[in-house]
Every structure is written in structure tokens, then in C-alpha cells.
Chain A
Amino acid sequence: MSKPKTLTFAFMDPPFESARTTTFFRLLDATLDAGANINVFAYEGAVALSFVHQKAHGNTVHGRDVEQEGHPLSREWIAALQHKATQIGATFNWINCGLCADERGINEVIDGCGRGSPADLWKFAASADNTLVIGTR
């Protein structure tokens, strides 16, 4: 059996503002479908993706309350991918740029997401089979 691949991703976009964010998560999901390990370095606004206090809301325009609306939260997407990785025996590492989190005041993140620096991106990239960076536009 061949050794599973490891891919590193660097991502800069926050939740709820760009289709790049959902595309990024689709890529992570597809990476796990391929049985590969994942490293993520969340840079700039992307540190908000794992913010633990993200809260779903109802939507009066849609005529739905909080439970009915089931508003998507990126912290739940990360948790779902963490769970999927565990189920298939893949690693799923997520590091937020610490300075980016500080300046945005969003240091409280979900379990399994850590704090680091660009040095972690370099370590991730050096240990991976390849790296995809997705800059904000």
C-alpha cells in the first residue's frame, strides 16, 4: 500500500464573503476523499473560520427561526472535516496565524485548531507533497 499524500493549504479569506471560502472547503473535502492528509495555515481573515463564537441566526426574510434556518457556520465545516479525517485515519492539522487572530480579537477557536506563525506554513509546506495557496482578492 502506498504512503498517503499530504497537502498543505494556505488560505486568506474570511467566512461569509467570498465563494473562494466554500471552494476551499470543497477542496479540503475532496482531499480527504482521496485519502490524503491535510495541513491548513489560516492567514489574515481566514483565522475567523474557526472562531468558536460563530452563532447561527434565524432569518425573518426566509420566515424561518434559528433551528429551521440552520445557517452554515465555517467552524462546523472544520469540525465536520476533522471528524471525517479521524474516520478515515487521515491527519487534519489547522494552524491560525497568531498575529492575525490578535489584531481581529478572535483567539477563541474550536478544538483541534492551533495558533502559530508563518514558520508553521513553511514547516507544513516542507513536509507536504505539495502546497496550494489561495490569496484573497
Chain B
Amino acid sequence: MKVLQVIEQAFRATGEEQDDTILWLSRSMQAAGADFRILLSGNAVSYALVQKGAPALGFGAWRQDHPANVGADVGELLASGVRIDVVTEDLAERGLDKKQCRDGIQRIARGELAELYNSVDQVWQW
């Protein structure tokens, strides 16, 4: 079974959870043998560009040890062979240049999404 993980919400709980919850879920399922690819859409297209981690949370004397690093998590997924596409129009609408996307991210036009959706067994829209 092949699943398309469509990530639309960006930076959901990244401060508290030290990662993007759906990127983490994907990596965790990958360890269980899951076969999936990822589509970045909406505000999550920023994940195609982000390179650095977030600053650590701090409240009073408490400091977070390992803040979220979405760029590193995306890099790990790419390095493990997961295909990641980003919607080009969603980049443009946010003033983001497709040339700024990190190496390994594939670009896909909205007009090609139906074919992509048809190519997998299940589509999970997060």
C-alpha cells in the first residue's frame, strides 16, 4: 500500500513537541515498514525551504533542550529515500521562490495533483 501524506498545516505544535507532528508520525511509521510520499501544500510549503531549527523555548529558569528542527527532519526523510513534492503555486502565493527549495524536493503544479492522487492507494490530508 502506498500513501500520500499531504501536509498543509505548518509548524503545528512544533514548540512543544520538538518536531512537526506529521513529519514525526511519518518517520515513525517508516520504521514500521510504511510506504509513503509527502506533498507539501498550503503554509507547509515553507518546509521545502527551511534549513535551521527553531529557537529553544524558555519559561523562567526552564529551557528546552532540543527545539524542533524541521529542516533536519525533512533532510532525514529525503536521505531515507522518501519523495517529497511541493506545490509550486502555493510557494508563489506566499512570495517564496521555487529556486530556494532545498535539493531533493520535487516541484509539482496544481494541475498535476489529480494524477498524483490517483497514483497512490490512500491520501491522508493533514
> Could you tell me which A residues sit within 8 Å of B by CB distance?
10, 12, 43-44, 117-119, 121-123, 125-126, 130-131, 133, 135-137
Chain B residues 19 to 43 lying within 8 A of chain A, measured CB to CB, are 21-22, 25, 28-29, 31-34
* Chain B residues, CB < 8 A from A10: 124
Which partner residue on chain B sits nearest A128 by CB separation? B122
Q: Is the CB of A125 within 8 A of B122?
A: yes
Partner of B125, one of A43, A125, A133: A133
Q: How many inter-chain residue pairs (CB < 8 Å) link A and B?
A: 42
Given contacts A44-B21, A125-B1, A126-B1, is CB(A135)–CB(B126) below 8 Å? yes
B13 at the interface (CB under 8 A from A): yes
* Chain A residues, CB < 8 A from B25: 43, 118, 121
B69 at the interface (CB under 8 A from A): no
Q: Is the CB of B122 within 8 A of A137?
A: no
B73 to chain A, nearest CB (A): 14
Q: Is the CB of B21 within 8 A of A43?
A: yes
A119 to B1, CA, bound (A): 14
Which partner residue on chain A sits nearest B125 by CB separation? A133
Q: List 18 A-B contacts (CB under 8 A).
A: A12-B21, A43-B21, A43-B25, A117-B28, A117-B32, A118-B29, A118-B32, A119-B32, A122-B29, A122-B32, A122-B33, A123-B32, A125-B1, A125-B122, A131-B3, A133-B126, A135-B12, A135-B22
